[in-house]
Amino acid sequence: MISSAKNDASTVTSVPLLDFQRGNSPLKAEILETIAEIVDSGRFVGGPFCQNLEQMVAEECQVEYAIGCASGSDALLLSLMAIDIQPGDEVICPSFTFFATASAIHRLGAKPVFVDIDPQTFNLDPSLIQSLITERTKAIIPVHLFGQCCDMDPIMAIARENDLHVIEDAAQSLGASYKGKAAGGIGSIGCFSFYPTKNLGGFGDGGMLTTNDPELASRLRLLANHGMQPRYYHKVVGVNSRLDSLQAAVLGIKMRHLSRWSAMRADNAAHYDRLMVEFGLAPMIEPPRHSMDGVHVWNQYSIRVTGGRRDQVRKAMADMNVSTEIYYPIPMHQQECFKYLNVESETMGQTELAALEVLALPIFPELEKSELRYAISCLAEAVMTGDSQLRMAS
Ligand SMILES: *Cc1c(COP(=O)(O)O)cnc(C)c1O
């Protein structure tokens, strides 16, 4: 039961970006009991808890196979290894993403080829893919950013026409769907992360791969365990990327609450939308737009602060104890390590603009309505103060 004091916006004086405690503490007794079971079992890597989680994720994603691994970054790397990406190959992905999407490509000696985004969804713009395809292109990595699926129909059509694999980076989108199909169940392979900030977050690193292809499934499993089959016999050079029993056990418990948590996130997002209207924040603030083609699971609620004032607004909100974050401040093509790719700024207009404007507000499931209201009232104050300062300066 929520206390009346907590419901009163006037008593809220801070809003955290994340508070894992609120989600974990109701599950603590059950988690500790299961950890004790693992301690007693002496089985710490793989095993029944991993198999159970794999089965749950396979069901969630409506796929035949799910394979645990050590992280979302490894899931991406293993996927590209499984489809045999070689040095000199090209893989198309967005520049507006987390580093791991592009680094997996680079690590295999292949070339990340960046595609600009759709300013409405922040996801890659499928209409720009065709012109980037060359004889060396082997795959596309659509990233379902912030919890919303990419427009997959045109992406899958281009992939089919050009004989390319599609590796879904669904690290932020477990439970999301596109036209009734689950994220991670549409392309050749889906990649998930259980990093604590994801919608299904563990107590450390963890990842999962999904596929409907039995050959890819066994190849992924082989590659994630040193390419070893049977023990100490290596057909291929794989990596050590396995899922711990402890992580799998924690995640298995939390997985049962995922759809409820996603609904709470969606509820928070809808409430933010209403508050933005109530506080009259348009056009200085643009709320995130969601496509009607799918279910959005709101790993992030990223607004745009227009007019070049994002950092100033963020600072003002921080002064009022509202934590926010920028996903992502530097696009991949502007990273020092990818300068060698010589991507022209003009081809990345929407990506660069998004990097200057986005601001993620707290959206985790257990936030109180009073906290959402406080966050938006502070956002409004930050925007208005900035406005009067601008007027005074001119
Ligand atoms: C988190 C994330 C990853 C990497 O996952 P880790 O488990 O942290 O390695 C990859 N891609 C995207 C889009 C992510 O958000």
Reported as a single tens digit per residue, the pLDDT across 142-158 is 999 999 999 999 999 99
Nearest-angstrom CA–CA distance, 239 and 237 = 7
pLDDT tens readout for residues 174-224: 999 999 999 999 999 999 999 999 999 999 999 999 999 999 999 999 999
Q: d(Cα 173, Cα 167) in Å, to the nearest integer?
A: 14
Q: Is 195 in the pocket of ligand 1 (CB under 6 A)?
A: yes
- The stretches of 8-98 forming alpha helices (DSSP H) are 20-24, 28-41, 48-60, 72-82
Q: Is there an atom of ligand 1 within 6 Å of 146 CB?
A: no
What is the pLDDT, as a whole number, of residue 6? Answer: 47
Domains in the chain, CATH or no CATH each: 2-12+258-393 (3.90.1150.10), 25-255 (3.40.640.10)
Pocket of ligand 1 contains residue 101 by CB under 6 Å: yes
| Burial of residue 132, with CB atoms counted within 10 A of its CB: 0-12 exposed, 13-18 middle, 19 or more buried | middle
pLDDT, tens digit (0-9, with 9 covering 90-100), for 215-244: 999 999 999 999 999 999 998 999 999 999
The vertex-81 CA angle with 77 and 82, nearest 5°, equals 115
Joined together, the tokens standing for residue 167 give 């590796």
Ligand 1 contact, 202 CB (< 6 A): no
Q: What is the pTM of this model?
A: 0.96
Regions in the chain scoring below 70 on pLDDT:
1-9, 386-394
Q: How far is the CA of 361 from the centre of ligand 1 (A)?
A: 19
Q: For residue 337, which of 133, 105, 150 has the smallest C-alpha distance?
A: 105
User: For residue 385, what pLDDT is reported?
Assistant: 82
